[in-house]
Structure 1
Amino acid sequence: MPGIARSSEYLPALRGKHVAVVINQTSEWKGVSLLDKLIEEKIDVRTVFVPEHGFRGTADAGAHIDNATDAKTGLPVVSLYGKNKKPSREQMQGIDVVVYDLQDVGVRFYTYISTLQYVMEACAESGVFLMVLDRPNPNAHLIDGPVLDTSLRSFVGMQPVPVLYGMTCGEYAMMLRGEGWIPNAGKLFMQVIPCENYTHKTRYALPVSPSPNLKSMTAIYLYPGLCLFEGTEVSVGRGTDKPFEQWGHPGFKAKSRYHFEPKGRQGAQHPLWEDKKCYGQLVAANTEEAYEMTKGGLDLKPLLTAYNWSEDKQHFFNDFFDKLAGNRELKEQIQQGISEEEIRKSWVENLDRFRTIREVYLLYKD
């Protein structure tokens, strides 16, 4: 049961207050949006902040989201993406409480935790109370991958955590404040409304797609490994019915008979290799297979296979890869032909250090 379902725990604290919400299409319980619920309860909501992909979750990754007015409620909708990733002092003016309720997928480069950090910073600066309605993390059973080298900080990686960090957004927020990883951390007043009947090993199927190209639980389980392809010349199937379930490239025709053809569509207006046949692999036949394939951690096999297939290794990676990986070593290790086992060994020391930090802030059993 996610935090939003436990309304008796948060509604009393919101009555008589001026409230802003950080929400999108996932911020619902049994089909009812948090925004609609708060308005029905006569809570004075003043502003709707929305993350990457917009209020309805239909915009492309990286697409500019304009501020707007919600047609149903007449409330101002303020994008926290593009040039305005952090609520300004002006936007926070007159707000007493910010309620954050976004469904995350537990992967460092999925940008909702970056939005969470900026909202925390804005609340600390403006003396605004932050309430996090916690939600299960579908990848919470995993802690794996390179820990971010903070010299590579960006919106797809802001803190020294691994690709898979095994925490809910509520636990992550507590860590950001507790470790002093945000400015003015000591000035932030915050409350997490925890999930009920949940542990990090609980299998949780997301009732609503968190973004336009994570259409299935299969994609959500495969995403941590396949998203690294976004730092290469290989397509992950954006512009098809199976984004983040497959990978391919026009130059791999001699290597595979499996292929797909990306087409422009909502959520992928101009996908990589648009209208060209991409040859590669369907990574998993179904959700259960994807879960089994990835329960050991970050799966590098697709990336290593594609690199070995590439006939133009000099141009295989682009400038985005190191930011996604969180270090400069992974690309070099792949280029040097180092085995997956050896690559994974290079992560162990930093992962152990992170586990020690993480343990302090857990609300749920592993």
Structure 2
Amino acid sequence: MSNVTQYVQTGLERFLETPPRWIFGYRLGLLGNPASVDRQFRHARELINQRFPGKLTTLYSPQHGFFSEKQDNMIESDHMTDPVLGIPVFSLYGETRIPTREMFENTDILIIDLQDAGTRVYTFVYTASYCLEVAKKFGKKVLILDRPNPVGGSVTEGNCLSPECASFVGRYPIPMRHGLTIGELLTLFNDHYGIGCDLEVIPMKGWDRSMYFQDTGLPWIPPSPNLPTPTSAMVYPGQVLWEGTNISEGRGTTQPFEIFGAPFIDTERILSSLGHRQLPGAILREIAFEPTSNKWSGSLCKGFQIHITDPHEYQPYITSLKLLQAIRFHHKEQFKWKSPPYEYEFERLPIDLLIGSAEIRQRMEKFDDLDEIAASWRIALEEFIHITREFHIYTRARI
């Protein structure tokens, strides 16, 4: 990361400063949550309502709810009335994940202002993709207010999703760490993968692809309850894999995804198989913790905290795969893949949906060399990088 914090203006701030002329007079809907704020922490719904009095008619919420109050996966939120504006809030993670005609009835233009996590399995972008499909169907326009990719835009990492592993944690063949802003990613979905709705993006000002969130000068508002800090977002593209296992990913603690473990883990044996505590761009620190909820609630877990020492060297996906493989090797009897259901999939293994490939999971079960496994996805990853250059809004990373 650079030592000098840059001033980044979000799509929300630019939109309010200079709205497109075509938007005036239309009824507006907003898909957002608590992270939909400007740098003074003012929420988008209030700012849009002030800028376009009486035109904001409908709100929509992704997973975790409009106030990000729901903690875990498959914990649905209900429709409600916004206590500030008195307008309906439709949950897109409840009785349906796809907007209905009735939900779009009073919306001419849907504004999307969501903070993405830069990771394939983060559901907000798939909620947005369903909104694009419904907007296309009913002749609505969509406006994306762009925000930073918290793990930067200069690195892509991991295998691209295999079609047989498509789910609500992966609808399109993208890698685990996609290196795009939400505006770029949704334009890719819309134009390259054929949604074809009337879509525009209000870009940020001052962001470039080398920036991690800490470089932006923007306040971090957790986009979901278990990404409390920019560091949790930085480890998430790898640490999310623990959700497909019986290893705690740190839910029910104050440092989800940064810490992980289980009662049966022998930390010394894990470190011996890795060679040392130092990993590329990170250090593993042995810890003990007791989750207050979720896996191993109330039980003493032994494991590690990942301390990032150099974000440019740290590769979250391959790092977590190697940690997972080490734990499987030393704890063959105790380690288990999590059983379904997971994100509304009731038959397929959660780990296959998370990795995005049953074949990679099967190779890991045989303890194939992970560097060889990584080499097998390189061609598809390079193809993805080539395709997405066309959709880059922002400059390449500074050298």
String of CA shifts for 1:289-323, please: whole Å, max 9, x gaps.
26255258642232222222323267345420000
Q: Who is 2:278 aligned against? A: none
- Contact 1:222-1:290 within 8 A present in 2 as well: no
Q: Who is 1:268 aligned against? A: none
Q: Separation in 1 of the partners of 2:241 and 2:315? A: 18
Provide the identity percentage.
Answer: 29
- Contact 1:147-1:160 within 8 A present in 2 as well: yes
In the alignment, structure 1 residue 275 sits paired with structure 2 residue 283:
no
Q: Separation in 1 of the partners of 2:20 and 2:43? A: 15
Query: Match of 1:315, as an amino acid?
Result: K
In the alignment, structure 1 residue 204 sits paired with structure 2 residue 224:
no
Equivalent of residue 314 in structure 2, options 294, 317, 341: 294
Residue 291 of structure 1 aligns to a residue in which SS?
coil
- Contact 1:307-1:316 within 8 A present in 2 as well: no
Q: Separation in 2 of the partners of 1:117 and 1:309? A: 41
- Contact 1:240-1:263 within 8 A present in 2 as well: yes
Q: How does 1:309-320 map to 2 (within 5 A)?
A: 309-312=330-333, 315-318=336-339, 319-320=349-350
Q: Separation in 2 of the partners of 1:73 and 1:254? A: 52
Residue 312 of structure 1 aligns to a residue in which SS?
coil
- Aligned Cα RMSD in Å? 1.9
String of CA shifts for 1:192-241, please: whole Å, max 9, x gaps.
00011111112223521111011112211111111001001100110011
Residue 21 of structure 1 aligns to a residue in which SS?
strand
Instruction: Call closer, same or farther: CA 1:56–1:11 in 2, change over 3 Å.
Output: farther
Q: Separation in 2 of the partners of 1:363 and 1:83? A: 35
- State how many pairs are aligned: 353
Q: Who is 1:124 aligned against? A: 136
- Contact 1:52-1:61 within 8 A present in 2 as well: no
Query: Match of 1:169, as an amino acid?
Result: I
Equivalent of residue 91 in structure 1, options 103, 114, 123: 103
* Residue 356 (structure 1) shift: 1.7
Query: Match of 2:45, as an amino acid?
Result: L
- Contact 1:129-1:189 within 8 A present in 2 as well: yes
Q: Who is 2:358 aligned against? A: 328
In the alignment, structure 1 residue 344 sits paired with structure 2 residue 374:
yes
Query: Match of 2:101, as an amino acid?
Result: R
State the TM-score, normalizing by the size of structure 1: 0.91
In the alignment, structure 1 residue 2 sits paired with structure 2 residue 10:
yes
Q: How does 1:210-229 map to 2 (within 5 A)?
A: 210-229=223-242
Gaps of 5+ in 1: 265-270
Query: Match of 2:333, as an amino acid?
Result: D
Query: Match of 2:175, as an amino acid?
Result: P
Query: Match of 2:48, as an amino acid?
Result: L
- Contact 2:13-2:38 within 8 A present in 1 as well: yes
* Residue 96 (structure 1) shift: 0.9
String of CA shifts for 1:258-304, please: whole Å, max 9, x gaps.
3110003xxxxxx11110111111121xxx52625525864223222
Q: Separation in 2 of the partners of 1:245 and 1:356? A: 32
State the TM-score, normalizing by the size of structure 2: 0.84
Residue 78 of structure 1 aligns to a residue in which SS?
strand
Q: Separation in 1 of the partners of 2:267 and 2:384? A: 42
Instruction: Call closer, same or farther: CA 1:143–1:217 in 2, change over 3 Å.
Output: same
- Contact 1:123-1:130 within 8 A present in 2 as well: yes
Equivalent of residue 48 in structure 1, options 44, 54, 59: 59
Q: Separation in 2 of the partners of 1:355 and 1:33? A: 34
Instruction: Call closer, same or farther: CA 1:146–1:75 in 2, change over 3 Å.
Output: same
Q: Separation in 2 of the partners of 1:297 and 1:364? A: 24
Q: Separation in 1 of the partners of 2:267 and 2:98? A: 47
Q: Separation in 2 of the partners of 1:298 and 1:102? A: 27
Query: Match of 2:124, as an amino acid?
Result: Y
Q: How does 1:1-366 map to 2 (within 5 A)?
A: 1-6=9-14, 7-10=16-19, 12-30=21-39, 31-41=41-51, 42-62=53-73, 63-139=75-151, 140-182=153-195, 185=196, 188-205=197-214, 207-253=220-266, 255=268, 258-264=287-293, 271-284=294-307, 288-289=308-309, 291-292=311-312, 294-295=314-315, 298-299=318-319, 300-312=321-333, 315-318=336-339, 319-366=349-396
Q: Separation in 2 of the partners of 1:144 and 1:340? A: 14
Residue 18 of structure 2 aligns to a residue in which SS?
helix
Q: Separation in 1 of the partners of 2:160 and 2:332? A: 30
Q: Separation in 2 of the partners of 1:94 and 1:296? A: 42
Query: Match of 1:38, as an amino acid?
Result: I
String of CA shifts for 1:300-347, please: whole Å, max 9, x gaps.
232222222323267345420000111112211211112221121011
String of CA shifts for 1:47-102, please: whole Å, max 9, x gaps.
10000011111212321101111111111111011331111111111321000000
Q: Separation in 2 of the partners of 1:243 and 1:196? A: 31
Residue 56 of structure 2 aligns to a residue in which SS?
strand
String of CA shifts for 1:150-175, please: whole Å, max 9, x gaps.
12111000001011111111111111
